A and B are shown apart, each in its own frame.
Chain A
């Protein structure tokens, strides 16, 4: 959350700098004040969770654009522009300034009043995203319908369907055998889908009719180099389990309990784990020695949100074996992070991105064309050489400390602005 004091201070600085920018006569000073404003805005970007923008603002805007401004100011010697004589030709425009001020203030009011008075819309809730995980050992290959919509097809044991967006509220979920008519549903239940949620429908349980459970997931951004792990116990015939990391083999008491006492049908709270390989074992919660399922070298990748479901798998002899089925989903990138920006930029906004590139190219060419002069080798006028006060070279020279001279010893001058070919 943004705090108020940095905001107020930096905002004040920005406004002040803007006002000073307008009031200054010296164009260089004005440019510098503008840089100050840009810096403030960059800071405000940071306050708004837009680190990428802050960087771009500083590098491109303050760093490139304003420098270009300064270049041209110095080139044209415009740091001091004498105001034109108010007498000539300005008489008829004396109405201008008051009118401009009035209109501008009016604009301020016009925008400000609704801003202050009006209500802002509520953010629309996002629709729930749902997928189905089939860990029912006896159900076979299933199709899943939400209402009349097929949301998963051909799910074998351990398969998860991709995320689909459904309408919030109550949905009638029905499971049928794959490619079979919906009428003969193996299981059907009505589940309430909450908005702004990511839900996994887990079909588990022995017997012909699997049980449907709704497990909420959290796909929001995880801290850096971390992953979120959520565990759900979906084997009703297994006892309460714990997730244990035995650690080194030979070290005593190196056992870490990651999750304790997860009863069947329960969902554990998501935990954030650093990336790496872990050796986990799903053990009986009461007896750690009873290893139900071993997960050696389980890799925890970064920026992921994993759902591990403990399910019973029927093995060849008909008995049920406890397994842990991981469902791995990449987590959302951090809001405002370059990753998030890049994510959008190279998918949704690819075309504008390329177009802007073309635009920049055109601008480059245009700038060169507009300012290009034929080199005038024939004559070099002696008269009317524009003397700029403190040309850039001398500024640089003074700062550097050395004199920059041309071959013939005179201080370097800018090319003659007079000899413009007409």
Chain B
């Protein structure tokens, strides 16, 4: 019987609670109806695990945006584009309203109707015509619809640890300009300091294939020829073999690559920021993330161009980030998301006042301003932007001079057009074979992987 009394009591409480919440909901609804309708959007913010200062700087930007746009409510959502989580979140419908994707995926996602058609919203941006046409093309689908707006562009570069260079008896102002010199420097760093002279990504998340493609391009080869379904996988080109032979020598003959052969993008940054790596290849903008996530000591950082072979095809692999809006967004949400993209990512490039306000906020939170980028706008606009933020630059630009001086004279190679990420994924195991198995045969490995690459192109993924 005691059970019954208790049950009745809790039933009464539940009814009371339901009545109270019903009144509360009704009250909230009437308040919302009374004022202007609020559009709620969630936006991709920083990488998970970012520092408090970086998060504070981001939240300050949200506050400023909401003040300027009273009808919009923005929720920040930590975000990192990863092939595995992106596909899962897309299928589950849990991506924020606005998110970012790499250049490799914008067009294909648009073709699959998985992104909001931003054409009219993008074209109404007053500076739309000032975008670098090659860059805006990355976010335009087969029907000519703008499905993603570029926000950053980078070129692959060689990050190097100036402190380890000095400790190894090398000149930190004279980073390697040839692959032979890079090999020799890596060996010297490894022998003199005990740290890895050079590391290369070797994880099974497409990063190993990405960097192999970068080195192959730098030597003048290509992993793919042609575009779309007619593209051909050309893994077994002489430059790819050369790139793997260089890796083979550093790994097994020179033993200058340390002991961790399974590094990915994030773990490479961690190891470098911890002072355990002499040199590694990643995007030219990777310094920003190493400040925001890995607490790098700016004094150790150096940025140089990737050594290019002396042939006309040799170039630097480029890439970038696109902003996109969920296909499930309402028109009001899409308009609000483009306003946010305009405010957070683009205004600083086109508006002096915003550029300075942005730079001031970032500097106040000790966030990097002035990390080298490849322009997403035309050259004139880029020069203007650089002049606006010049007084606020807080990254060690002098230490990045080897890169910034050289990059504008170098050929930027776009990423393989067809099935980009899948092609990188197919090359992952080739790189891993060289890194984990002594005496592997690069030519045979590439020849064996080529049909898999061709199959990836055929399936479009």
A and B found bound together: no
Interfacial residues, chain A to chain B (CB-CB below 8 A):
none
B residues with a Cβ closer than 8 A to A are: none
